[in-house]
Each structure stands twice: as structure tokens, then as C-alpha cells.
Structure 1
Amino acid sequence: MSWIDKHIDQIRKVTGEWLDPVNTSLQEAVRKTVDEGLFSKQDIEFQLSVLRESIRNNEIEEWAERSGLNDQKNAKGTKVLCLHAGNLPLVGFQTALGTLLSGADYHGKLSRKDPYLLKSFLDIMKKAGFGQEVQYSTELNDFQNLQADKVVFAGSEESVPEVEEKVLKLNASGEEAKYIIRTAKFSIAYLNDWNEEVKRDLVEATLRYGGKGCRSVAVVVAEFTLNQVKEELMDGIHEFWKENPQYQQPAPVLEYQYAYNKAIQRNQIWLGDFLIQETDELPDTDFTVNWVNGGEEKVRELKALFGKKVQSVYTVGGEIKGIETEKLANAQRPNLWWKPDGMDLVNGLIK
């Protein structure tokens, strides 16, 4: 068996052990996260169930194959500094896994908003023999003089210059270091059909995690108006909230938007904690989805207009010419090899 085959097999084996429901270290990480009010148990268990399904489907092996990883093409000896976000539970898992899968040495600045879950994964990796390749901390200062070859960062476009300045000041990255920066904020769904399955998938894509992830739908382009599906959509949202009450949080700022929409006679669905409005403006308010009546050309127009802020375009059937799309049902259940900001992380690290 070649080095890379052994490496991939070990990564898969240890990841599976970490995800085992009887793993006490993972159970403790979940407990601490919930007790400190960082994330709800429902969201954590949902994320873990998606990852378990990915491992069962051999997605680690497929990711390696898709990336062209082999004995000659890998990132062995490359120091990678990962600056993780903390807006979703385990949002940094794919980056950590991909870095280790590539063969690179992983150095991770964990988010204080999610300090336990990813750490439990990294701990078991260290115990399994990846000790020299795995280093992590919640303090950026701990990576002083690291001189990383590559830096992976997820955050807002506005924060990029400040982050780069801090990393350079600490000498945490080398002068020739390559930065892999992700700044996408939301995704678009294109609906040319409507039924119970589409309704369920759309509600999940918009409301899961409170709509805070870049894969969360914040713009819907549909070949029918909001009024045509209003009652069914409201029923779907209330049903989802009944199963996931953690998302019903007061959002006073939306009251002003609701009043404004009403004054200009803009069609909308007002649910107190959530607002859907008919407009093709840039979505820049939490707990809000913008609904646009249009077809494929409108999707292309908005994707071009919003640029790098768009992560993915989802469809419920068929493709859109000139645009890479994903299935709406996979919005919050992405494959391990999904491409944040359009980049395959493993492929980006081994180049």
C-alpha cells in the first residue's frame, strides 16, 4: 500500500472514531458547548449527523481522488495556518480535515465561539500519530514566528486587511505565503417548481443555523410570486420552528424594515422573528430573505451583481447555463469536497 493510501485510510479511520456516538471526548465537547450557550444541541447533532453520513459514503476517499492527491502530488512539509470562523458549529471542520488530508502540517487558530468541538477532533488526531502535524490555539499570538507557507482565512471582506496585517506582524506567515481567503456571505436558490419537497428544502436552507452560514439561502429567484406560495411557505416555516425553537429570537430591527415595506406597498411575509420580502436588493440584514420573481437570466444577473458575496446557487431540477449549481436539498448537507468560494481546499494546498 502506498503512503497516500495509508494516509487516507488513517484519516478516515480516526475521523470515524471521533464521530462515534460513544466517543466520550466528543460528548464532553458537545456538553460544554451547549452548557455555555455557544450552539444548540439540535444544531450540533444535525452537523454531526451530516458528517457521519459523509464518512459512511466514503467521501474522504472521493475528496482525495477529486483533488488529484497522490504520492507525488501532496502538501507534505507545507505549514498551513488556518484561521477558523465560529459562526456555525464545526464550521472549521472541513478546513482542518482537508489540511490534514493534503498531508500538510496543520496549525489552527480556533474561534472562541466554537473552542471545544473542533478541538476534540484535533485531539484524537494527535493521539493517532498526527502530533507533529497538528498544533492549535484560540490565541493568534501563539503562532508568532510560525512562518506558515499558506494561510486559510474565512471572514468578511472588510476584515481581510486587518487580519493580514496581524499575521505579518507576528511573523506567523512567511513573506511569500499564499493566502486562501473566503469571504462569501450567502447563497441563492432558483425555483422553477414548487411542491412539498421543495418547500421543505427551502425552509431548511434558509432557517437552519439561523441563516448565518454562507451556504444559507438569502436570495430566492422564483418563476412565481411570493403571494402564490405564501400560505404554504408560512406553514413550512412554523413547522420548522416547532421542531427547532432555538431559531425564534426577537429581531427588533426587522420591525422597521417591515414598516418600511408596508409603507411602500412591497409584498412581504412578516413572522416577527423572520422576514421575507420581494426585492432584488443585496441581502444585508440577518433573518431576512429577498424574494425575486424571475428566471435563469435573473439568476445570472444577480450572481454577477453580488459577486464574491455569493457562495452557491441551488436549483431544484436541471442546470443553469454558465453557472455551476448544486441541489437545494444539499444546501445544509454539503459533501466533504464542496468548494468554499469556488476553491477545492486540498487542491489549493497541494499546488
Structure 2
Amino acid sequence: MSWEKVHIDQIIAATKNWLDPQDIYLQKAVEKTVSEVLFSEEDILHQLAVLRNGVANGEIPEWIKRSGLSDQKNAKGNKLLCLHAGNLPLVGFQTAIGVVLSGADYYGKLSRKDPYLLASFLDEIQRTVTDQEVHYSTDLMSFKDLKADKVVFAGSEQSVPDVKNEIQKLKAAKTDANYIIRTAKFSIAYLSEWSEEIKADLVEAILRYGGKGCRSVAVVVVPLGLDEVKEELKQAINFYWKQNPQHQKPTPNLKYQYAYNEGIQRNQLWLKDFLIQESEDLPETDFTVNWVKGDVSKVRDLRIMFGQKVQTVYTCGEDIVGMDTEPLRSAQSPRLYWKPDGVDVIEAVIE
């Protein structure tokens, strides 16, 4: 039997064991995360449900096929240092499992904002997978003199130079190490139509995880002005908050943005904890969405203008020629093999 077959089967088995609702290690990780108010239980359970569905639907073998991983093409013998973000529960899971699937030795710097959930998965990998090293810590100093072959980093553009300097200072990576950097900040939704179903999908894409994360929609392009849908949106958002109160978080900055919008007579919908405003500017304020009246040409213009800050363009199902898109309904339920910043994790690691 090939290395690839044995290796992949071990990882799939470990992942299924970990995702079992009765797994005591995962249960304890969820309880600690919730008790320390790092993430809400609802958001954690949503993320775990997405992962369970993906594994059950065969997304790991599909990812292997798409990436080109094989007995001849893999990352065995390489050291991979992964610096994980912590803005969403288990946001680093895809990178971690991708690196482990590649055959590389995994070294993960976990975020102190999410130190338990991903660790419980990595512990299961350590118990099950026997042919590679798996280590993690919340302290970058733990990887002093590691001399990793590649580094996967997720975070802000501004922090990239400082992170690289710190890694080089610690000799945590080789001087010629390849860096796989992820810095996208938000996504765009283009709605060619308006219906109850689309409205519900949009609100979920905007508000899940409190609107944080690069897959969260922060710009909406639609052939309707904000005034035409303002009352419907207000009702839909208030209903969502009743169902998901953990996502309603007061943000003091919003009152200043609201006052500014009033001063320049910009159309807006202010819900105290959330603001939707008619604007084509780069979205930079938390809990704020920019509403743009326009068509496909406007989507193209904004995509070019915002550049690498955009993760994904969502649509109601139609394709946009020359642009990669995803269905709006999948915004907060991505497949395991989705490409952050347009990069396939496994493919980038085994190159």
C-alpha cells in the first residue's frame, strides 16, 4: 500500500475521531474556550458542523486530488512553521490539516485568542499519525533555531515585516525560507436579485462571527439603493440578532461614523451595534458594511481598487467572466479545499 494511502487514511480517521461529538478532548477544549469568553459556543458549534459536513462529504480526498499530492509529490522531510490567526474559532484548522496532509513536519504557533480548539485536533493527530512530527505552542520563542523550510503566516499586512524579522532573529526559519502570506481582510457580495432567501444568506455572511474574518462580507454591490431595502434589512438583522445574540457587540466607534455620515448627508442604516452605509470607500471600521448601488462593472472596479484586501466575491449563483466567485450561501461554510488568498495550502507546501 502506498505512503499516500496510509497517511491520508490515518489523518481522516484522526479527524473523524476528533470531530465526534462525544470526543472528550474536543468537549473540554470547547468548554474552556467558552468559559474564558474567547468565542461563543454557537460560533464554535457552527464551525465544527461545517467541518463535520466537509469530512463526511469526502472533501479531504477531493482536496488531495486537486492539490496533486502523491507518493512522488509531497513535503515529507520538510519543516513547516505555521503562525495562526485567532480572530475566528478554528481559523487555523485548514492550514494545520493541509500541512499535516502534505507529509511535512508541522510546527504551529497558536494564537492566544484560540489556544484550545486547534490544540485538541493536533493532540489527536499526534496520537494517530506516526510518520511525522507535530508540535505546537502559543510562544514563538518555542521555535528558536527550528530553521523551518517554509512559513505560513496569517495576519495583517502591517505586521508582516515585524513577524519576518522576529522569525529571522530566532532562526525559526532558514534564511531562504519560502513565506506563504495571507493578509486578505474582507469579501464582496454581488446581488443581481433580491429575495427572502438571498437576504437571509446576506445577513449570515455579514454577521456570523460578529462580522470578523476575511470571508465575512463588508461590501455589498446590488442594483438597489439602500433606501429601497433599508426597512427589510433592519428587520432581518434584528431577527438574526434575536437568534444569535452573541453577534451583537457594541462598538463605540460607530457613533462617530454615524455622526460623520449625518454631517455629509450620506445615506445609512444605523442599528447602534451595526452600521450599513452607502459608500465605495475601503471598509475599515468594524461592524460596518458599505452598500454600493451598481452592476457587474462596479464589482469589477471595486475588486481591482481593493486588490489583495479582498478574499472572495460572492454571487447569487451566476458566474462573472474573468473572476473567481463563490455562492453567497457558502460564505461562512467553506469547503475544506477553499483557497485563502487564492492559494491552495497543500499545493503551496509541496511545491
TM-score, normalised with respect to structure 2 = 0.99
CA distance in 2, matches of 1:113, 1:209: 14
CA distance in 1, matches of 2:227, 2:319: 26
Helix, strand or coil for the counterpart of 1:277?
strand
CA distance in 1, matches of 2:115, 2:301: 39
Amino acid in the other structure paired with 2:269: I
Alpha-carbon distance change, 229 to 130 in structure 1, aligned in 2, over 3 angstroms: farther
The match for 2:301 is 301
The match for 1:279 is 279
The match for 1:208 is 208
Alignment of 1:1-351 (within 5 A): 1-130=1-130, 132-351=132-351
Q: What's the offset of the Cα at 1:142?
A: 0.5
Q: What's the offset of the Cα at 1:92?
A: 0.4
Identity of aligned residues (%): 64
TM-score, normalised with respect to structure 1 = 0.99
Structure 2 residues without counterparts, runs of 5 or longer: none
Q: Deviations over 1:122-142 (max 9, x none)?
A: 001101134742011111000
CA distance in 2, matches of 1:331, 1:108: 26
Q: Deviations over 1:102-132 (max 9, x none)?
A: 1111000010000000000000110113474
Amino acid in the other structure paired with 2:22: V
CA distance in 1, matches of 2:3, 2:132: 17
Aligned residue pair count: 351
Amino acid in the other structure paired with 1:317: G
Judge which range, 258-267 or 12-21, deviates more: 258-267
Q: Deviations over 1:63-98 (max 9, x none)?
A: 000001111011111100000000000000000000
Tell me if the contact between 1:125 and 1:131 (Cα under 8 Å) persists in the aligned partners.
no
CA distance in 1, matches of 2:244, 2:2: 46
Helix, strand or coil for the counterpart of 1:160?
helix
CA distance in 2, matches of 1:124, 1:8: 14
Tell me if the contact between 1:32 and 1:116 (Cα under 8 Å) persists in the aligned partners.
yes
Q: Deviations over 1:135-179 (max 9, x none)?
A: 111110000010000000001110000000000000000011000
Q: What's the offset of the Cα at 1:253?
A: 1.0
Q: Deviations over 1:2-31 (max 9, x none)?
A: 211121111111101000000000000000
CA distance in 1, matches of 2:100, 2:155: 21
CA distance in 2, matches of 1:62, 1:287: 35
CA distance in 1, matches of 2:251, 2:119: 32
Judge which range, 235-244 or 276-285, deviates more: 235-244
Output the aligned Cα RMSD: 0.9
Helix, strand or coil for the counterpart of 2:55?
helix
Judge which range, 229-238 or 122-131, deviates more: 122-131
Tell me if the contact between 2:223 and 2:295 (Cα under 8 Å) persists in the aligned partners.
yes
Helix, strand or coil for the counterpart of 2:71?
coil
CA distance in 2, matches of 1:335, 1:182: 18
CA distance in 2, matches of 1:130, 1:226: 56
**Structure 1 stretches (4+) deviating beyond 4 angstroms?**
none
Amino acid in the other structure paired with 2:215: R
Tell me if the contact between 1:186 and 1:216 (Cα under 8 Å) persists in the aligned partners.
yes
Q: Deviations over 1:34-90 (max 9, x none)?
A: 000100000100000000000110101100000011110111111000000000000
Amino acid in the other structure paired with 2:273: D
Amino acid in the other structure paired with 2:196: E
Q: Deviations over 1:179-223 (max 9, x none)?
A: 000000000000101111100110000000011100000000111
